[in-house]
Amino acid sequence: MSLSYLKFRAIGRVIFCLLTLCFVVTQKVAYGQVIPIETNNTAMVLTVDKGHLLHVSYFGRKLKDPQGYAQFKAQLHQAGDPSGVANTAYSSSGSRNLFEPAVSVIHADGNTSLALQYVSSSVKRVSEDIIETTVQLKDAVYDFRVALIYRAYQKDNVVEQWAEITQNEQGNVRLNKFASANLYWYGDGFWLKNYHGDWAREMQPEVTKLSHGIKTLDTKLGTRADLFQPPVFMVSTEHAPEEDQGEVMLGSIEWSGNYRVDLELDNQNNLRIIAGMNNFADAYELAPGKVFQTPKFLYTLSQNGTGTASRDLHSWARKYRILEGQGSRLTLLNNWETTGFNFDEQKLKAILEDTKKLGVDLFLLDDGWFGNKYPRNDDHAGLGDWQENKKKLPDGIQAVVKQADKTGVKFGIWIEPEMVNPKSELYEKHPGWVIKQPNRPEYYFRNQLVLDLSNPQVQDFVFGIVDSLFIKNPTLAYIKWDCNAVIYNAYSAHLKNQSALYVEYVRGLYKVLERIRAKYPKVPMMLCSGGGGRVDYAALKYFTEFWPSDNTDPLERVYMQWEYSYFYPAISTANHVTNWGSQPIKYKVDVAMMGKLGFDIPVGKLKPEELSFCQQAVRQYDQLSDVIWHGDQYRLVSPWNHDFASLMYVVPDKNKAVMFSYLVSNRYGAGSELPVKLKGLDSSKYYRVEEVNLYNGAKSRIRVNKENRYSGAFLMQVGFNPVVSAGRSSVVLVLTATD
Ligand code: DGJ
């Protein structure tokens, strides 16, 4: 074969691939035909009925033979659904559906009925991994349409789904409800694991068997919306969620404001899940010709328990969502827990030296650096006045940045740009930029109010805060973006239609973040909200990491980080070593290593042996971070029902793994009596086991065989004992593949 022929074939193949990738297949589906939304292992199947209604006819494991989807219905002998619409793919109100609707409207002529019918569907191959299916629905009477969009990530078994609502009636249509997703699930009982929380008590899990009726997960806080109830949850069938077996779905709504998830067990014992923005105080006026796009609802479904589900979700999040999810992170020293608001240039200079001494990459200057007429010396004043406080920083941030450069460390800074203290020049100048009811007394959360991000002028102001920091300090390497107030007295002086405020606030926030990322695409930013009050998969598009909680007591963190780990990968979880908790420094560092490591301690007050341990641990972390950030996570021993917790991370080629174990009980004799069965290794490979992060000079008590060589099969079937005990309350083991 000639070279030019080979070239010709290669070019032909490329053209063919491009054509298939961009190919959109549109079809009008005949009655009974199915539209499967599949990933490698999962399927949600839509079916069109005689009356052109679109139903969710199957939700579960992907079948090799798609014929099976159509045969599923015949296997159901349930009570029956007199309305015939209980399982529609986007149920509406005002017609036959008497269950919780996904969409509810008042038409331009005042009519309140909606009955959506199937029009057409199309399938687009976005990439080798992503298939996007769009289904068009339309009301038979009114010119009101909904496009349901399903983006299926094949390898990670993740589906994002959302709706685009349009209308061409004689005037505005009021959307009273506008969900993103409407699932329908046939299963033998459903168990829900959801979370509640508060400041310093984030991610507290609860597991319940769903009973008939509706269980609603929601928030109405507006800004740091997840404080009392994060938007993540899981549902399993047949029994409560288990780590390595059983069917379980992990779900979340990608929205940084008020959300609502209704889980309704219907008369046939099937589960309806309706998820989207919260429609509380939030009816939306949709003008003719305009598109209302809902946020995305995200789920992954596993047939092998939460372990597989969370590894799939992590893999998806690192690849497709978290900013720089496949990149690296900066270790840091923060000053919040050590100085609070009380610092000056001299103190910061010393902390910069400490940053260098500790060996971390960056110094993060926290709250308190700004405000002059109303200095930010506590949390009652100054928020909104983003000029350096002249007493604390007479030569400005620029001098600190210069000093950081000189010291050989990077510099990052704290901001809380969406908020304002009433005691501020900003408030005096722009009272109309603040969310508050005009006729009522102000009511504060942490002595502050929320700026009205629905107003483009406020958006410019917030963008300007970040932009001018970068313009003045081009080497600025990190931003901690805080958000500490909820929205009380919701009212916007800018908006004509008040009920749009909650939606427009979040859209305004995203507009600002888009602008920041367009100009500064990669600068690491921490999503903070007085702790974990705001983390979701829409926000993480703009942030490299989030702050799970102000509670850094490592014992509390073992549980919290464990729960976060079901939904968010370690690379996104910022963990700091602080003075919270009375555990040894080794325990604190080992717990913080299970994610993105940082410190917030007075380094100068550490004993010499504590300092040298921390320095060595930072160096060790640099060696291990690749495994922790990019490896697959396996939860081994749960802290909820054992004396200790164990979990591990394994790189994709299975040549290296890190295992963390933490004692969580102080009862007599508590510890790891038996070997812990490892997971995710290659059973045919051999591994060397080594204990690292030993406290200065301590000898490891793990028992290894003469060659220090264990097969993956042995480690996974028999296990390995990390020898956790009161005297060894945390243990870090590194496993390296060997010949
Ligand atoms: C709340 C954050 O969670 C803390 O880490 C700290 O940055 C304070 N705000 C500063 O006010």
Report the atom number in ligand 1 closest to the C-alpha of 529: 3
CA distances from 455 to 20, 435, 465, 494, 595 (A): 43, 10, 16, 6, 37
Burial class (CB in 10 A: 0-12, 13-18, 19+), 515: middle
Distance, C-alpha 404 to centroid of its chain: 32
Rounded to an integer, what distance in angstroms lies between the CA atom of residue 631 and that of residue 628?
6
CA of 227 to the centre of ligand 1 (A): 14
Rounded to an integer, what distance in angstroms lies between the CA atom of residue 409 and that of residue 352?
7
CA of 440 to the centre of ligand 1 (A): 29
Phi-psi region of 322 (alpha: psi -120 to 50; beta: other; left: phi over 0): beta
| DSSP secondary structure letters along 103-145 | EEEE-TTS-----EEEEEEEEEE-SSSEEEEEEEEEESSSSEE
What residue ranges in 588-643 does DSSP mark as E strands?
A: 596-599, 632-637
CA of 187 to the centre of ligand 1 (A): 44
Report the atom number in ligand 1 closest to the C-alpha of 379: 11
**Helical packing angle, 345-358 and 396-407, nearest 10°:** 30
CA of 341 to the centre of ligand 1 (A): 11
Counts for the chain of helices (H) and strands (E), in that order: 13, 36
Using an 8 Å Cβ cutoff, are 114 and 95 in contact?
yes
Strands 259-265 and 248-254: unpaired
Alpha-carbon Rg of the chain, whole angstroms? Answer: 27
Rounded to an integer, what distance in angstroms lies between the CA atom of residue 479 and that of residue 574?
13
Q: Which residues of the chain have pLDDT under 70?
A: 1-25, 27-31
CA of 385 to the centre of ligand 1 (A): 17
CA of 218 to the centre of ligand 1 (A): 25
CA of 490 to the centre of ligand 1 (A): 24
Handedness of CA 61, 65, 66, 71 (dihedral sign): negative
Rounded to an integer, what distance in angstroms lies between the CA atom of residue 26 and that of residue 121?
6
Residue nearest to atom 3 of ligand 1 (CA): 530
Handedness of CA 159, 314, 564, 466 (dihedral sign): negative
Rounded to an integer, what distance in angstroms lies between the CA atom of residue 407 and that of residue 379?
30
DSSP 321: I
Distance, C-alpha 695 to centroid of its chain: 34
- pTM (predicted TM-score): 0.96
CA of 482 to the centre of ligand 1 (A): 7
Rounded to an integer, what distance in angstroms lies between the CA atom of residue 42 and that of residue 36?
10
Report the atom number in ligand 1 closest to the C-alpha of 547: 3
Residue nearest to atom 1 of ligand 1 (CA): 530
CA of 376 to the centre of ligand 1 (A): 13
Residue nearest to atom 2 of ligand 1 (CA): 530
| DSSP secondary structure letters along 494-536 | S-SSGGGHHHHHHHHHHHHHHHHHHHSSS--EEE-BTBBSS--
Ligand 1 probe mutation, 226, 419, 550, 599, most atoms within 8 A of CB? 550
Rounded to an integer, what distance in angstroms lies between the CA atom of residue 442 and that of residue 582?
40
Residue nearest to atom 9 of ligand 1 (CA): 530
CA of 256 to the centre of ligand 1 (A): 19
Residue nearest to atom 4 of ligand 1 (CA): 530
278 phi and psi, to 5 degrees?
-80, 130
Report the atom number in ligand 1 closest to the C-alpha of 530: 3
Report the atom number in ligand 1 closest to the C-alpha of 480: 7
CA of 530 to the centre of ligand 1 (A): 5
Three-state SS across 653-665?
A: CCCEEEEEEEECC
Using an 8 Å Cβ cutoff, are 264 and 274 in contact?
yes
Instruction: List ligand 1's pocket residues with C-beta within 6 A.
Output: 336, 366-367, 414, 482, 484, 528, 530-531, 547, 550
Residue nearest to atom 11 of ligand 1 (CA): 367
Structure tokens given for 647: 């979990």
Select from 286, 351, 278, 262 the least CA-distant residue to 106: 286
CA of 277 to the centre of ligand 1 (A): 27
CA of 619 to the centre of ligand 1 (A): 27
pLDDT of the residue at 697: 84
Report the atom number in ligand 1 closest to the C-alpha of 528: 3
pLDDT digits (tens, 9 = 90+) for 456-494: 999 999 999 999 999 999 999 999 999 999 999 999 999
Rounded to an integer, what distance in angstroms lies between the CA atom of residue 395 and that of residue 385?
17
Ligand 1 probe mutation, 364, 416, 479, 484, most atoms within 8 A of CB? 484
CA of 143 to the centre of ligand 1 (A): 49
Ligand 1 probe mutation, 341, 446, 482, most atoms within 8 A of CB? 482
Report the atom number in ligand 1 closest to the C-alpha of 414: 7
Three-state SS across 662-713?
A: EECCCCCCCCCCCCECCCCCCCCCEEEEEEECCCCCCCCCCCCCCCCCEEHH
Ligand 1 probe mutation, 414, 527, 549, most atoms within 8 A of CB? 414
CA distances from 186 to 81, 102, 233, 297, 543 (A): 13, 19, 18, 20, 37
CA of 3 to the centre of ligand 1 (A): 64
472 phi and psi, to 5 degrees?
-75, -30
Select from 676, 660, 655 the least CA-distant residue to 721: 676
Rounded to an integer, what distance in angstroms lies between the CA atom of residue 579 and that of residue 339?
12
Q: Residue 335: helix, strand or coil by DSSP? A: coil
Ligand 1 probe mutation, 528, 549, 576, 601, most atoms within 8 A of CB? 528
Rounded to an integer, what distance in angstroms lies between the CA atom of residue 567 and that of residue 248?
13
Residue nearest to atom 10 of ligand 1 (CA): 367
CA of 284 to the centre of ligand 1 (A): 34
